[in-house]
Amino acid sequence: MENLKYSDILAQNQILRNTVKGIPYRISVLSNVTINSLKEILEYSLRVNQINPSIELGNYDNIIQDSSKYYDSDLVIVFFDMLNVVDSVSTFFENINDELYNNVKNKIYSEIDIIYENLKACPSVIINTFSSNYFIPNYTQKTKVETLVIELNNYLNEKKNINVSVINIDNIFIKIGIKQAIDFRLYNSSKAPYTLTFLKNYVAAINPIIYKNTGKLKKAIIFDCDNTLWKGIIGEDGIDKIDMSLNSHSGRYYNKVQQIAVFLSKRGVIVGICSKNNESDVTDVLLNHPDIILKDEYITIKKINWEDKASNLLSIASELNIGLDSIIFVDDSSFEINLIKEQIPEIVTIQVPSVIYEYPDFLLQRIFNYFNLRLNSEDAKKTIRYKQQAERESDKKNHKSIDGYLSSLNISLTISVNDLSQIPRIAQLTQKTNQFNITTRRYTENQILNFINNSQDNVFSVSVADKFGDNGITAVCILKTDLQNNKTCNIDTFLMSCRIIGRNIEFVLMDYIIYWLSSHNYTTVTAEFIPTKKNQQVQDFYSLNGFELIKEESDYKAYSLELSKFQPKNILYISVNFQELK
Amino acid sequence: MENVKSQITKVMSAVFEVPIEDITETSSVDSIDSWDSLKHLNLILALEEEFNIVIPDEEVGNLMNYKLIELIINECRK
C-alpha cells in the first residue's frame, strides 16, 4: 500500500469498483482542511480486501456542522488539523496573549465535546491527535503551540467514548518525516496540506480498525522454519549449526522474530508452522534447542512434510476452521511466496527481507497493519482452546455414536442476558464470526451497549464449558421487540464461534430463547437468514427449528414462528444455567 | 520523449477516470468533464509522484491542457 504509485492506485481502484459489490461500508470524512485525495486511496485499500466502500467527504472546514449530519455512517473519520486552527488565530501563534490562548483552547474543548456528542451513536469514529510538528520547535522550552497541542490531546483522550479511536499522527510524521508528510505549497494555495506519502501511510494506519469493524481481521500467522524462524537449514547445516542465539550477530534478529511470534500467540493469534523438513528434526528443535523462544506450547498447528505448501496451508485453514483470507504466511523463499500468491491469493504473504537487520521490524509493521492486538482476557486463552479442540477431535474417534460422544463431554451452557461486562467480547464475536452467523451483522461495542440499554432489545451471551475446559463466551443472540407489536420479537443476530460448532449447542440455545420469549409474554418470533460466502452451513437453521418460511429473495429469507407451535429438541446431555441482569 | 507522453496519458486517464484512448494532445480542462479544481489537485500530486518532480507554485494553476503539462514537466526535468 505505502509503496504503490498513486496513479496505479487510481487505475486499480477503477477496476475493483466494478468487481467488489455487497452492502456498502459507509464512511464520512470530516475535516478542517482539503482532504480530497484521501478518497480514492481509502477506497482502494478497502476494495482490495473485498469491502465495498461508500465514502462521503464533508464540506471544507465544517467539522462541527457535519458531525450532526453524518451520525449514521458506519465510520466517521475526523481530520481536525492544527495547521488551520493556528492559521485562523494568527500568522504567528507564539505572539498571542494568554487571554486569546485560553479562548482558543476552550473553544476547541467545546468543539470536541460537540463532535463526541453528535457522533456518540456512530459505530466507529476515528479522530487524529493534534500535532505541533509543523511548527519550528524550541529545544529547551515548550512553545505555545506545543503546550496547546498537549492540552488538546489530553482532552481528546480523556473525553472519548468507547466508539472513538484516536490515531497518533505524530507517529506517521516520525516514520516518514514532516517534509515528506506536509506540502506547504499546496496548503497555502488550496488548504491541502497532506502529501500522497502521508495519505498512503495514514490509510495503512487506520486499516486495522476498519478490518476489525468489518470482520476482516487476520486470525493466524504461519511461519516457514529454515531461514525464517532461525538462520540456517536443518537438513544442510545440522541442528547444532542453526542460529537463533541472542549472542550472535544475526541470530539476534531471529530471536526477535520468535519473540514477536510468542507475543502474538499470547494475544490469541494462531501461530503455526509450515515447513519442508523432516518432522522429527523440527520437533527436536522446538523441544530441545537451547536458544528456542517459540516453544512448542505457543504453536497451534504444524505441517512439517515434503508436500507443497499450498496444500499444507489449505489443510491448515480447514483443520482450524478459519477462512483463507484470515491467514498470513511468512517464508524466506521467493519460490514458495510466489506459489502461494498464485495458488491462494486470499492469503497475505510476507517474504523475509534479504537485508536481515530489517526483518523483525518489517514483520512487526505488517503485523500491526493486519492484527488489532488489544489484550483481552478471552483472546489470551485462545491458544489453549485451539489445542483443546484438537484433543476433542481425537477423542471423537473413540466414540461410535456422535450423541454418545457429545454426552460424554459434560457440556454446560451459561446464558446471560444484558451483561455489561461482556460487551467487548460480544462485539468482537459479531465482528469476527463468519460461518455460524445467520445475519452477519457487525456491531461495535457502542452499538451493543445501546442494545443493552434499550428496554426493547435484549442481548444474550452464552459461555460454554465441557470436561476439556472452558470455551468462554462463544455464542450471541440479539432479540429486538417489534415496535408495532410488542408480542412479536425478531432475532436480529444468532451466531456461534466455530470452535463450538457440531455439538448441538445451537438447538439448546434456540430451545432456551423460545422458552424465554414465552415466559416474557411474546407470542410470535420472526427471523431472517442473510446469505454470505461463508455461512451456507446455517441456511436451513430456522427450518430445522420449525420456523415457517414466509418470504424468499436471492439475498434474504424471512421466517416466522408461533411460539405455541414450537417443538423443543430437549437435548438432555447439555445443561443450562441462566442469569438475567436487566 | 514518447515515454513522457505515455506516462502523462496514463496519469490523466487514471485521475480523470476516462479511457486511455480518450486522452489526446488536445485534451484540456474544456474537453474533460471530470476536470474540476479538486481533480486538478490530484493531477498535480500524481504527476509530481510519477516524474519525481516538484511543480513550482506559480505553475500549478497553469497546467490546464495536455500541451502545457508536457511543456512544464519537461522544464522541471531539466
A vs B: CB pairs below 8 A: 52
Can you give the CATH number for the domain in which A245 is found?
3.40.50.1000
Phi first, then psi, for residue A390 (nearest 5°) are: -65, -40
User: 10-residue block means of pLDDT along chain A (582 residues)?
Assistant: 89 92 93 94 93 92 90 94 92 93 94 94 95 93 96 96 94 94 91 95 93 86 96 88 92 96 91 93 93 94 92 91 92 91 91 94 89 58 61 58 75 91 91 89 93 93 85 92 90 89 87 91 94 86 92 91 90 84 56
Q: Is A232 left (phi over 0), alpha (psi -120 to 50) or beta?
A: left
CA distances, A49 to each of A152, A372, A524 (Å): 35, 16, 39
End position of a domain, from candidates A183, A214, A245:
A214
Separation CA A105–CA A149 (nearest Å): 9
End position of a domain, from candidates A214, A229, A263:
A214
Instruction: Report pLDDT for A375.
Output: 47
Whether residues A20 and A134 share a domain: the answer is: yes
Whether residues A141 and A250 share a domain: the answer is: no
Residue A392 lies in a domain: no
Residues ≥6 apart with Cβ < 8 Å to A229? A223, A244, A254, A257, A258, A261, A273, A294
CA distances, A552 to each of A437, A539, A546, B27 (Å): 18, 12, 16, 51
Instruction: Report pLDDT for A164.
Output: 95
- Give B52 to chain A, closest Cα distance, Å: 11
Whether residues A569 and A466 share a domain: the answer is: yes
Q: Does B43 touch chain A (CB under 8 A)?
A: no
Whether residues A249 and A140 share a domain: the answer is: no
CA A568, A572, A577: angle at the middle one, nearest 5?
A: 90
- Give A189 to chain B, closest Cα distance, Å: 8
Residue A390 lies in a domain: no
Residue holding cell 467480547? Answer: A425
Candidates B18, B23, B42: best to mutate against A (most CBs of A within 10 A) is B42
Candidates A10, A16, A29, A201: best to mutate against B (most CBs of B within 10 A) is A10
Separation CA A573–CA A401 (nearest Å): 14
- Give B73 to chain A, closest Cα distance, Å: 16
End position of a domain, from candidates A373, A389, A406:
A373
> What residues 186-215 of chain A have any CB closer than 8 A to a CB of chain B?
186, 188-190, 192, 195-196
Instruction: Report pLDDT for A374.
Output: 61
A36 → closest Cβ in B10, B14, B41: B41
Separation CA A29–CA A170 (nearest Å): 20
Whether residues A157 and A77 share a domain: the answer is: yes
Query: Across the interface, do A189 and B57 touch by the CB < 8 Å criterion?
Result: yes
Chain B, nearest residue to A195 by Cα: B45
Residue A391 lies in a domain: no
Structural element, H or E, at residue A472: strand A469-481
Residue A382 lies in a domain: no
Domains annotated for chain B, with CATH where assigned, are: 2-77 (1.10.1200.10)
Q: What residues make up the domain containing A365?
A: 220-373
A7 → closest Cβ in B46, B57, B61: B46
Whether residues A174 and A275 share a domain: the answer is: no
Whether residues A493 and A551 share a domain: the answer is: yes
Structure confidence at residue B67 as a pLDDT band (50, 70, 90): very high
Residues of A in contact with B14 (CB under 8 A): 7-8, 10-11, 14
Residue A381 lies in a domain: no
Residues of B in contact with A40 (CB under 8 A): 42
Q: Does B41 touch chain A (CB under 8 A)?
A: yes
Residue A311 lies in a domain: yes
Whether residues A207 and A232 share a domain: the answer is: no
Residue A1 lies in a domain: no
Sign of CA dihedral A231, A236, A240, A241: negative
Counting the structural domains of chain A, the total is 3
Whether residues A517 and A547 share a domain: the answer is: yes
Whether residues A93 and A56 share a domain: the answer is: yes
Whether residues A548 and A440 share a domain: the answer is: yes
Query: Across the interface, do A7 and B49 touch by the CB < 8 Å criterion?
Result: yes
Contact A577, A413 (CB under 8 A): yes
B14 → closest Cβ in A10, A192, A196: A10
pTM over 0.95: no
Can you give the CATH number for the domain in which A507 is found?
3.40.630.30
Whether residues A496 and A419 share a domain: the answer is: yes
> B14-37: per-residue pLDDT in tens?
999 999 999 999 999 999 999 998
Residue A73 lies in a domain: yes
Query: Across the interface, do A11 and B57 touch by the CB < 8 Å criterion?
Result: no
B42 → closest Cβ in A11, A36, A195: A36
